[in-house]
Amino acid sequence: MTAATAPTHHIAPTISLGTRLAGFSHLLRLAWRRDRILIPSSVLGLVVLSVGSAQATLALYPTDEAASTGLAGVLANPSVVALYGPIAAQNADALAVFKTVMMGAFLTAVLGFVVVRRHTRTEEDAGRLELLGAGVVGRWSALAAAVTLGTIAVVAASVLSGLGLAALGMDPIGSVAFAVSWLAAGLAMVGVAAVVVQLASTTRGAAGLGFGFLGAMYALRAVADSADPGTLAHGLGWLSPLGWSGRVEAYGANRTWLLVLGVLTLVVGVAAAVVVLNRRDLGAGVIPARNGPRRARRLLAGPLTLVTRLARGTILGWTLGMILMGVVVGSLLGSVNDMVSDPAISDLLEKLGGSTGSVVNVYVATEIHFVAAAVAAAGIALVLRIVGAERSGLGEVVLSTPTSRARWFGAHVVLPVVLATGLMALTGAVVGLIGPEVTPEAPSLGASISATLAALPAIWVLIGVAAALAGALPRFAPLSWGVLLVTFMLTELGRMTALPSWVLDLSPFTHISPLPSGSFEVVSAGVLTLVALALIVGGLLAYRLRDVT
Amino acid sequence: MPDVISVSGLHKSFGRTTALDGLDLSVREGEVHGFLGPNGSGKSTTIRILLGLLRADRGFAAVLGRDPWHDATDLHRQLAYVPGDVVLWPSLSGGEVIDLLGRLRGGIDEHRRRRLVERFELDETKKGKAYSKGNRQKVALVAALASGAPLLVLDEPTAGLDPLMEEVFQSELTALKAEGRSVLLSSHILSEVERACDRVSIVRAGRIVDSGSLAELRHLTRTRVRAVLTTAPTLQEVHSWRGLHDTVVDDTELRCSVEADHLGELVAALGNRGVASLTCQPPTLEELFLARYQAQPDAGGAPPSRSTQEQPV
């Protein structure tokens, strides 16, 4: 039995590239077929984000002179720079893309990562790659197909956005630089994704590593961009792909050569991934899946604690997000007066927020609408988990125990209602703590919290819509997202256009009391609360009467 | 003794598809009842109605003497269920799921839980996502078996288990029976049913085509007979023997299948004529089920001639 001692674990170096990539084109086509909605719609969303926001900003600040008045307020605020990165130059074009360079680079990187993960670790985790791997498919084919498709998605979003900006009449070289700012981060993240999906052994593990990396890179560049140029802290920004995006300085210095860094990271990442891939088993990773506790905590004993436990990460994420939002809004209050020295803009803000009074208060009222929409989205997502559970079969598992449908349904409504209340209070508190530090005009802590809490009835209505759909027509439950979008747009854009007031009144956002400077409208809040209650109760009744499949 | 599950004339349609078409089922207290049928025959729909997840269009259903739709919550205190395709929460460990389900059912027998985890060799620390199909099934089985519920509803519980674990399941089933608990066991594995079940019901196209103990079911089916006679029988003679099917006469050899009621007559008649050799073969379980699965609802479970010709006697 000497043969048994022969080393068999090395990949024979004679295997040709063609063998290792066998089936590549089939896998690429399969991946494209599965992503033919996801990728085009994400790319379109990113293009609309960059071009739409640039167009809107150019309408407000059409000239370089108008732009530099707007810039003064923005640049004075370190928290804005930390959030969005530095502004490239004092001109209208640079201001037009000021917000979307960093936000878009981040989202493009997310897109690249998600596409790569979907066709590698997710497939492997689900066992589908094993099915394919048993056919004539090379060891590198899945990775190659995923990286190719991820690269295509990133390139499409970046290049089309650059073209769109140039089509608006913005500086062509600057538009190329803008595309590069997204490409550098996106391509780098595709390379990082290739490695991450080899290291982690589960889809969730890969998500944790990938998004953790992206978050760390964002934080690194936030610190670096806030620091003075020439310091060590500022120099650290070169380590972050998102730092590169800002340092391209589109419509300013236009450092298009930074694309090299993105491409280089992609190449190194793929090479490293191949090295790991050659050494590991199918289905395994370098980092093993983390185990859980042997026994459940005492608290995990009912539907509400179960739903809360399952949403733990989501709740934490929203909490951190709303604190960040509060910090930004609160610290911006100091520069609101500079930003809206133009009477046309303060008029616009008044329309958006539906509120009058001091500019600072009007600004707070406007931002509360956006905060409320975000919190409503968090609530809707939690309500819709009951539909997801029904689809996966987990609802059946719970409902076959002595858990009544009312308690199971109730848990999916109580958690979002409580979370929404907590998030609104938290955001109000952060704004109320930071605002008065930067300007005496800012609302006090109490006034700020009351103002955010006053928006709750509108949020409850949207949670109610999701609950009614989940209870009665689970197939149509995702329409809740459409209701959120349409009602929000109706109020925010409707006030600027000549829509009849009864149309505007259909949206719960229209009835949010215009605090902090206006008065609390008890009737509106009461009616919204009753509508929310009716929707929730209606959903529950329907849920108790229908088949749970 | 009252029936723990009593169903009659159950109808259920999903849109234009009829899932149940007048299904009857009775499970007696303390018995393990096999619930058999091809895929899509209505087993899982029946179970979901018994759990109060679906509402029957027509017909009567009672579980432990109560209406499964109206009294679902109370009923579930006395019932444990293992779904056919076990899904677990990806972020919860197996141990957490067992504890959670136990607590939702109103408590768990710690001693029994520990013993079952050991017997099924379950790693409780793995998370839902990391388990194989068999291990997910073990989690659900441990949770159900560790509950003190007097009625267990198990939907193909051993489909993902290896033979060793199936053996453990069988012995646990025997232990349940000894405790006087009742089990509705939907299964495709005939040996499992033969070993564990007191009675079986065979469902086809939303109706029960046969129900009873295995001995009773066997009785309804024909026995295959192959006889070599001392002299060749005449055709007239063969026709005079009652209850014969698929008869083939080849010189002195007679091959046929005979209805259970006429087996004695035939053996006596053959004996009178003089037999050189005689083999009688009762239907195998597989044949029994194949016959019921394939038969038309009105054919009364007669085995099709195809199966008798294919099988060498």
User: What pLDDT shows up at residue A3?
Assistant: 44
Reported as a single tens digit per residue, the pLDDT across A239-298 is 999 999 999 999 999 999 999 999 999 999 999 999 998 888 776 777 777 788 888 888
Other CB atoms within 10 A of residue A8 CB: 8
Each domain of chain A, given as residue ranges in start order, spans 23-279, 303-545
Each domain of chain B, given as residue ranges in start order, spans 3-211, 221-310
User: What pLDDT shows up at residue B112?
Assistant: 92
User: What pLDDT shows up at residue A12?
Assistant: 47
- Which of A223-227, A523-527, B113-117 shows the lowest mean pLDDT across its residues? A223-227
Q: How far is A536 from chain B (nearest CA, A)?
A: 21
Q: B17 touching A, CB under 8 A?
A: no
**Nearest-by-Cβ selection for A291 from B72, B101, B125:** B125
**pLDDT (mean) for B75-85:** 91
Quick one: CA dihedral B151, B156, B159, B160, positive or negative?
Answer: negative
Which region, left, alpha or beta, applies to residue A406 given φ > 0 means left and ψ of -120 to 50 means alpha? alpha
Looking at every residue in chain A, the average pLDDT score rounds to: 87
Interface with B, mutate which of A130, A204, A396, A397 (most B CBs under 10 A): A397
- Residue A179 has φ and ψ, to the nearest 5°, of -60, -40
Using pLDDT thresholds of 50, 70 and 90, give the confidence band for residue A496.
low
Using pLDDT thresholds of 50, 70 and 90, give the confidence band for residue A84.
confident
Residue A68 and residue A162: Cα distance in Å, rounded? 23
Q: How distant, in Å, are the alpha carbons of A200, A364, B123 from that of A30?
A: 24, 48, 36
Q: Helix or strand or coil: residue B229?
A: strand
Residue A98 · residue A74 · CB < 8 Å: yes
User: What pLDDT shows up at residue A2?
Assistant: 42
β-bridge mates for residue B257, sequence order: B224, B245
- Which of A81-95, A153-167, A204-218, A346-360 shows the lowest mean pLDDT across its residues? A346-360
Using pLDDT thresholds of 50, 70 and 90, give the confidence band for residue A348.
low
% of chain B residues with pLDDT over 70: 92
User: What pLDDT shows up at residue A13?
Assistant: 52
Q: Which residue of B has its CA nearest to A394?
A: B87
Look at residue B256 and tell me whether its pLDDT is greater than 60.
yes
Residues in chain A with CB shorter than 8 Å from the CB of B101 are 397, 401
Residue A362 · residue A349 · CB < 8 Å: yes
Residues in chain A with CB shorter than 8 Å from the CB of B100 are 296, 300-301, 306
Residues in chain B with CB shorter than 8 Å from the CB of A300 are 96, 99-100, 103
- Which of A130-144, B197-211, B297-311 shows the lowest mean pLDDT across its residues? B297-311
Residue A399 and residue A467: Cα distance in Å, rounded? 18
User: What pLDDT shows up at residue A200?
Assistant: 84
Residues in chain B with CB shorter than 8 Å from the CB of A399 are 51-53, 72
Using pLDDT thresholds of 50, 70 and 90, give the confidence band for residue A62.
confident
User: What pLDDT shows up at residue A433?
Assistant: 93
**pLDDT (mean) for B39-48:** 90
Look at residue B161 and tell me whether its pLDDT is greater than 50.
yes
Per the CB < 8 Å rule, is B48 touching A202?
Answer: no
Q: Is the ipTM of this complex over 0.90?
A: no
- Residue predicted with more confidence, B217 or A169: A169
Look at residue B303 and tell me whether its pLDDT is greater than 80.
no
- Residue predicted with more confidence, A63 or B10: B10
Residue B295 and residue B289: Cα distance in Å, rounded? 10
Q: CA geometry: angle at A363 spanning A67 and A320, to 5°?
A: 100
User: What pLDDT shows up at residue A132?
Assistant: 76
**Stretch 393-412 of chain A: residues touching chain B, C-beta under 8 Å:** 393-394, 396-405
Per the CB < 8 Å rule, is B89 touching A310?
Answer: yes
Per the CB < 8 Å rule, is B96 touching A401?
Answer: no
If we measure between CA atoms, which residue out of A305, A304, A241 comes closest to residue A268? A241
Look at residue B148 and tell me whether its pLDDT is greater than 80.
yes
User: What pLDDT shows up at residue B310?
Assistant: 35
**pLDDT (mean) for A323-333:** 85
User: What pLDDT shows up at residue A184?
Assistant: 97
- Residue A108 has φ and ψ, to the nearest 5°, of -65, -40
- Which of A121-125, A180-184, B18-22 shows the lowest mean pLDDT across its residues? A121-125
User: What pLDDT shows up at residue B313?
Assistant: 32
Tokens of A440: 């005496």
Class of domain B3-211: alpha beta
User: What pLDDT shows up at residue A248?
Assistant: 94
**Stretch 219-278 of chain B: residues touching chain A, C-beta under 8 Å:** none
Class of domain B221-310: alpha beta
Residue A201 · residue A285 · CB < 8 Å: yes
Residues in chain B: 313
Reported as a single tens digit per residue, the pLDDT across B258-295 is 888 888 888 888 888 888 999 888 777 677 777 777 65
- Residue predicted with more confidence, B309 or A454: A454
User: What pLDDT shows up at residue A513?
Assistant: 87
Look at residue B297 and tell me whether its pLDDT is greater than 80.
no
What is the separation of C-alpha A362 from the centre of its chain, rounded to a whole number of angstroms? 27
Per the CB < 8 Å rule, is A402 touching B54?
Answer: no
**pLDDT (mean) for A535-543:** 97
Using pLDDT thresholds of 50, 70 and 90, give the confidence band for residue A345.
low
Q: How distant, in Å, are the alpha carbons of A35, A142, A267, A492 from that of A275?
A: 27, 15, 13, 52
A95-99, A243-247, B83-87, B192-196 — most confident range: A243-247
Tokens of B12: 């259920």
**pLDDT (mean) for A523-531:** 95
Look at residue B143 and tell me whether its pLDDT is greater than 70.
yes
Q: B101 touching A, CB under 8 A?
A: yes
Residues in chain B with CB shorter than 8 Å from the CB of A400 are 51, 53, 76, 79, 81, 83
Reported as a single tens digit per residue, the pLDDT across B188-234 is 777 788 888 999 998 888 998 888 887 777 766 778 889 998 888 88
Using pLDDT thresholds of 50, 70 and 90, give the confidence band for residue B311.
very low
User: What pLDDT shows up at residue A349?
Assistant: 64
Interface with A, mutate which of B51, B53, B154 (most A CBs under 10 A): B53
Q: Which residue of A has its CA nearest to B91?
A: A310
